[in-house]
C-alpha cells in the first residue's frame, strides 16, 4: 500500500511547482552565559526571545535577575521541566526571582526568555546576595537576604492591577520554609523565621518589616 504524503510534504511539493520555497521554522536564538558559582555570576544581554544556557557549579539556589527596562510588552522566563514560569513581569521593569534547585540537578541548565526588545539577564548564587536589615520597600518581584534574627514579618501589599497577586517564600538559614501571600491588598504580620532569604513574586508594591 502506498503511504500518503504528509501535509507538510504536500505543501512543499505545491510550493516547488509554483516556483516558491518553504522555509523551516526556526527556534529561538541560543546564547551561553557560562558558569554560575559562589562568588561568580553570569550575565547575558540580548533582544527578543532567547534560550540562555548556563552551568550551575555548586549546590545553591539561583537568583534570576532581569533588567527589562528597554523591553516592550510582557516578559516571561521559563525553565525546562517546570509547570509554571520562573517569573513573569511587565515591560519597563527590573525583577528578580529565586530558582530553587537540588543537589542532583544537572550542571547544565537553561532558561527561555520571551519578550520583545533589549534586556539583560544576570544569574548568581543566593549566597552572594547582599544582606539587608530593617524595613524594605519596593515594587515587582524581588529576592532579599535578611540578616535580622526574628520570627515574623509585617507585610503590606498593594496590587498593580485587579489581576495582580503577591506570593512570598521565606527560606530560613536554619532550614525552615514558610509561605505567605494574597490576591488582594493586605497589611498583616506573617510567620517568617529569619535570618534567611525572602522571595516575592508580584507586579505590585510591597513593604517588609522584620518584627523583633
Which is nearest to 198 in space by CA: 123, 133, 105, 101?
133
Q: What CA–CA distance (Å, rounded) separates 150 from 210?
A: 7
Per-residue pLDDT of the chain (212 residues; tens, 9 = 90+): 333 344 444 434 434 444 444 444 567 899 999 999 999 999 999 999 999 999 999 999 999 999 999 998 889 999 998 889 999 998 889 999 999 988 789 999 999 999 999 999 999 999 999 999 999 999 999 999 999 999 999 999 999 999 999 999 999 999 999 999 999 999 999 999 999 999 999 999 999 999 98
User: Cell for 122?
Assistant: 544576570
The pTM of the full predicted model, rounded to 2 decimals, is: 0.85
- Give bridge partners of residue 29 from the DSSP assignment: 50
Domains of the chain: 29-126 (2.60.120.380), 129-211 (2.60.120)
Total count of residues recorded for the chain: 212
Q: Mapping DSSP to helix (H, G, I), strand (E, B) and coil, where does residue 150 land?
A: coil
Strand partners, 137: 207
Amino acid at each position: 500500500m502506498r503511504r500518503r504524503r504528509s501535509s507538510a510534504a504536500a505543501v512543499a511539493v505545491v510550493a516547488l511547482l509554483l516556483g516558491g520555497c518553504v522555509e523551516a521554522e526556526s527556534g529561538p536564538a541560543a546564547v551561553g552565559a557560562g558558569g554560575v558559582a559562589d562568588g561568580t555570576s553570569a550575565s547575558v544581554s540580548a533582544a527578543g526571545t532567547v534560550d540562555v544556557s548556563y552551568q550551575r557549579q555548586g549546590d545553591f539556589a539561583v537568583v534570576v535577575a532581569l533588567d527589562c527596562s528597554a523591553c516592550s510588552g510582557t516578559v516571561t522566563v521559563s525553565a525546562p521541566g517546570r509547570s509554571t514560569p520562573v517569573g513573569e513581569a511587565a515591560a519597563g521593569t527590573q525583577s528578580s526571582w529565586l530558582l530553587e534547585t537540588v543537589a542532583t540537578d544537572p550542571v547544565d541548565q537553561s532558561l527561555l526568555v520571551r519578550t520583545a526588545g533589549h534586556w539583560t539577564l544576570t544569574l548568581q548564587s543566593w549566597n552572594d546576595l547582599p544582606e539587608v536589615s530593617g524595613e524594605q520597600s519596593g515594587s515587582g518581584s524581588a529576592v532579599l537576604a535578611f540578616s535580622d534574627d526574628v520570627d515574623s514579618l509585617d507585610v503590606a501589599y498593594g496590587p498593580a492591577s485587579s489581576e495582580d497577586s503577591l506570593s512570598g517564600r521565606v527560606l530560613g538559614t536554619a532550614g525552615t520554609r514558610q509561605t505567605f501571600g494574597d490576591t488582594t491588598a493586605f497589611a498583616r504580620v506573617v510567620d517568617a523565621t529569619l535570618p534567611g532569604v525572602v522571595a516575592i513574586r508580584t507586579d505590585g508594591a510591597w513593604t517588609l518589616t522584620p518584627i523583633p
